[in-house]
Structure formats: C-alpha cells, structure tokens
Amino acid sequence: MSNLESLSEAGIAPLSRFSEDEQMLREAAADFATSMIAPKVDEMEHNSKLDSELIKQFFEQGLMGIEIPEEYNGGGGNFMMAVLAIEEIAKVDASASVFMDVQNTLVNNAFINFANDELKKKYLPQLAEEKVGAYALSEESSGSDAFALKTKAEKDGDHYILNGNKLWITNGAEADIFIVFANINPEAGYKGITAFIVERDFEGFSVGKKEDKLGIRASSTTELILEDCKVPASNILGEPGKGYKVAMETLNEGRIGIGAQMLGIAEGAFKHALEYLKERKQFGRAIADFQAVQFQIAQLDTEIETAKLLVYNAARKKMAGEKFMKDAAMAKLHASSVAENVTSSCVEFFGGYGYTKEYPVEKFYRDAKIGKIYEGTSNMQLQTIAKLALSE
C-alpha cells in the first residue's frame, strides 16, 4: 500500500489537503496572529517578554490545548491542527509561536500519551484553560547527550526528592506545570531516567536565570533549580525508569512542531521581502523586475515549498500511526536550513534597510538561527536520518 493510500485508509487527507476543521483552525490562528499578536511584537521584543494579556488570549482562543480531548476541556483537535497554528503564528512572531508550540507538541502530548487517568483529570484541564507548561530535559552537561543528565531523584516515603539544575527551558518564566526528567538510579544509566510532574509552588523548586538571547527574545528561556524538591510519587509521568521513552517519543513530535515554526518564519520573512521588492525602485525599475532577483525569488519559493511538504508529510504520517522518526528529523533539519537561508536572503533584498530594526526581516533572521539548535541540533538530526536510512 502506498503512503497516500495508507493515509486515505486512515481517513487523513495527505500533505497539503486539509479537512474543514484543520482549515478553520488555520484561518483562526492566522487572524489571531495578525490582529492580536502583530501589534505587540515590537514591544515584546524590546521587553524580552510575552505580553501577559496575550498569554490569556492564547488560552481563550483554544490555542494552548488543541489536541487535548474535549472531556478535559480541550479542543479535541488533531496534530495537523497544532502544526498549522504554529506555522501561522510564526509568520508573525516566532516567540509567540514557540510558546504555544512547546505547550502543544511537548507538554500536552506527553500527558496525553503517558499520563494515567488520574493525572490526566488533574492536569489536562489546567493546561487547556489557564496553566502554561514547560519541558525540562536539558542540563549544563547534557544537551545533545540528553541521557547524561545529572539531576537525581531519591525515594522518600510517598515522595521523591529531586536535586539538580535544568538549563535552556522554554516557557520557564511563565509555566506553572513542568515535566522534569531526573534519574532515580544513576547506576542504571538511561534506564533510571524518570519523568516527574513538578508544580511551580512545590517545596524546593525555583526558576533561576533568564537567558538574554540572540533571537526569540520574547520567549523565556530559563534555568530551573531543584534543591530537595519534594514531588509526590504519584506525579511520575509514565513508568519509573522509563523517562527515556517519554523524552524520545515526545521530542519526535516536537521536532515537527519546530519544523512548522521554521517554515512560518521563512514564509513571514519572504512575504515582507516580496512586498518590498515590488515597491522599491532602483535604476527606474522595481527591484522585483530584475531577472537576477526573480531567479532568487524562484529559488527561495521552491525551498519554502519543499520544507512545507516535509513538515506536512511528517505530521500526516504521525497521525496515521506510521513510523515518522526519520520524517520528523528531515522536516526539522530541512525547515531550519530553509529558514536561515530565506531570512538571510531577505535581509539582503532590503539592502541597508534590512540591517536595521526599521524593517522586520532582521528579526526573522535572528529568530531563525535557533531552529538548528533546540530540540535536537542539525548534526543530531543528520545522525538520526543516517542511522534510520542504514537500517531500512
């Protein structure tokens, strides 16, 4: 059975064909981005902070719980709907996009796929309606080598005591619910890693330094400090010692979300550039009329379309229950490269203006760089793709 046939059998429209619900959410996200987010982008960038009222509006619009089932007060949507919303918002602001991306593709999906019924009833309604989530895996000495983490968890009656520090945690400043990975048996290596649900007001937990970053400046990236942090044993997400499974499966979905974010960044910058090229005149002609520029436009447009197809295809395969790890890695790898290349070219299209903050393309350029770094560097994606290709 072909890929398209298998998607059809599953009742899923392939690639760029969207269901009515998917298209409706896409349009709603696009409208929200242009009407509510766009007017606040400059101020949020200057303050290096998301607007608090905008955070409330994300919840009111149902964008923070897209896949959470309706029984838990969520949107009851599908993964493609989340991907499309991430893309549309990234066309306007990457910081706002990654804010809801982490909530949907990492935190919510981890709860949906691994939490027991009791934890779902307790936390999913909160994540759908009012509470921001964060995903805490990385540490100072464990970035790409994620399973080298040093945060420890020791059993103490009906609680675990966590000690360690987490770094580079997106949404750290805004979150109330954290998925924190710690090792309950360091001698067992990665087989001791366990996922814990930590609430912001738990004893021994605090949010530390907020990073001053090149791009996605309004998105908070923080340190988390666990000093004898007391977590109920009932707050283990999944099974003890199986946190590596939670991490790997969730990150595979998250990489498609990052691919969608990078796609949106490229599309947003390209749109601004096309408008400028049609209006700006040199030597008595619009810049867009020069063949050399048209060839560059054609190349960039083609790159954006290839990234789009990879991102959408990975999302569809995930929804159809097919193996999608390689597709997710390809989507993130390629979309990140396209975003960097497209935004760089757009800065050049604007000439000297592109290097100033008077026009938005320099921000798109800075925001694009993170795509090759977080949720698995490009080198790690290459390694994953090669390993899976050799095993086929």
Both 112 and 141 in one domain: the answer is: no
**Is the model's pLDDT at 7 over the cut of 90?**
no
Both 251 and 373 in one domain: the answer is: yes
Number of domains in the chain: 3
In this structure, are residues 147 and 244 in contact, taking their beta carbons and an 8 Å threshold? yes
Q: How confident is the model over 262-291, as a mean pLDDT?
A: 97
Q: What domain range is 274 assigned to?
A: 244-391
| Domain limit, last residue, from 79, 108, 132 | 132
H or E element that contains 231: strand 221-232
Q: How confident is the model over 338-360, as a mean pLDDT?
A: 97
In this structure, are residues 54 and 39 in contact, taking their beta carbons and an 8 Å threshold? no
Does residue 197 sit in helix, strand or coil? strand
Both 84 and 208 in one domain: the answer is: no
Q: Which residue among 67, 88, 340, 375 is the active-site one?
A: 375
Q: How confident is the model over 60-85, as a mean pLDDT?
A: 98
Q: Which residues of 360-374 are buried (b: 16+ CB within 10 A; e: fewer)?
A: bbbbbbbbbbbbbeb
Q: How confident is the model over 9-26, as a mean pLDDT?
A: 75
Q: Is 5 a catalytic residue?
A: no
**Is the model's pLDDT at 5 over the cut of 80?**
no
User: Could you tell me which residues come within 8 angstroms of residue 170 by beta carbon, excluding any fewer than 6 positions away?
Assistant: 98, 99, 102, 134, 135, 219, 220, 221, 374
Both 75 and 156 in one domain: the answer is: no
Lowest mean pLDDT segment, chosen from 5-9, 312-316, 322-326, 359-363 = 5-9
Predicted confidence at residue 141, as pLDDT, reads 87
Q: Which of 115, 114, 88 is nearest to 101 (CA)?
A: 88
Distance from C-alpha of 205 to C-alpha of 225, rounded to nearest angstrom: 6
Q: How many CB atoms lie within 10 A of CB 30?
A: 17
Q: In this structure, what CATH number is given to the domain that contains residue 230?
A: 2.40.110.10
Q: Which of 95, 181, 185 is nearest to 146 (CA)?
A: 181
Q: Which of 366, 195, 370, 197 is nearest to 269 (CA)?
A: 366
**Is the model's pLDDT at 344 over the cut of 80?**
yes
Lowest mean pLDDT segment, chosen from 11-15, 82-86, 297-301 = 11-15
pTM, rounded to two decimals: 0.95
Both 127 and 13 in one domain: the answer is: yes
| Domain limit, last residue, from 80, 99, 132 | 132
Which residues lie across from 139 on neighbouring strands? 142
Read off the pLDDT of residues 93-150 as tens digits, 9 standing for 90 and up: 999 999 999 999 999 999 999 999 999 999 999 999 999 999 999 999 888 888 899 9
Distance from C-alpha of 173 to C-alpha of 47, rounded to nearest angstrom: 14
Given pLDDT bands bounded at 50, 70 and 90, which one contains residue 1? Answer: very low
Given pLDDT bands bounded at 50, 70 and 90, which one contains residue 363? Answer: very high
Q: Is 28 exposed, middle or buried (0-12, 13-18, 19+ CB in 10 A)?
A: middle
Q: How many CB atoms lie within 10 A of CB 190?
A: 16
Both 201 and 229 in one domain: the answer is: yes
Q: Which amino acid is at 334?
A: H
> Distance of alpha carbon 243 from its chain centroid, rounded?
20
Q: How confident is the model over 17-37, as a mean pLDDT?
A: 96
Distance from C-alpha of 218 to C-alpha of 93, rounded to nearest angstrom: 9
Predicted confidence at residue 6, as pLDDT, reads 52
Both 206 and 284 in one domain: the answer is: no
Distance from C-alpha of 172 to C-alpha of 165, rounded to nearest angstrom: 13
Return mean pLDDT, the chain. Answer: 95
Q: In this structure, what CATH number is given to the domain that contains residue 50?
A: 1.10.540.10
Q: In this structure, what CATH number is given to the domain that contains residue 281?
A: 1.20.140.10
Read off the pLDDT of residues 202-211 as tens digits, 9 standing for 90 and up: 999 999 999 9
Both 123 and 181 in one domain: the answer is: no
Predicted confidence at residue 144, as pLDDT, reads 86
Both 29 and 78 in one domain: the answer is: yes
* Cα separations in angstroms, 32 against 28, 96, 328: 6, 11, 27
Q: How confident is the model over 175-200, as a mean pLDDT?
A: 97
| Domain limit, last residue, from 241, 259, 280 | 241
Both 236 and 321 in one domain: the answer is: no
Both 154 and 118 in one domain: the answer is: no
DSSP assignment of 1-68 equals --HHHHHHHTT---TT---HHHHHHHHHHHHHIIIIIGGGHHHHHHHTS--HHHHHHHHHTTTT-SSS
Structure tokens at 342: 């497209």
Q: Is 104 exposed, middle or buried (0-12, 13-18, 19+ CB in 10 A)?
A: buried
Q: Roughly how many angstroms between the first and final C-alpha of the chain, as a whole number?
A: 17
Q: How confident is the model over 26-45, as a mean pLDDT?
A: 98
In this structure, are residues 208 and 222 in contact, taking their beta carbons and an 8 Å threshold? yes
Predicted confidence at residue 15, as pLDDT, reads 53
Both 168 and 155 in one domain: the answer is: yes
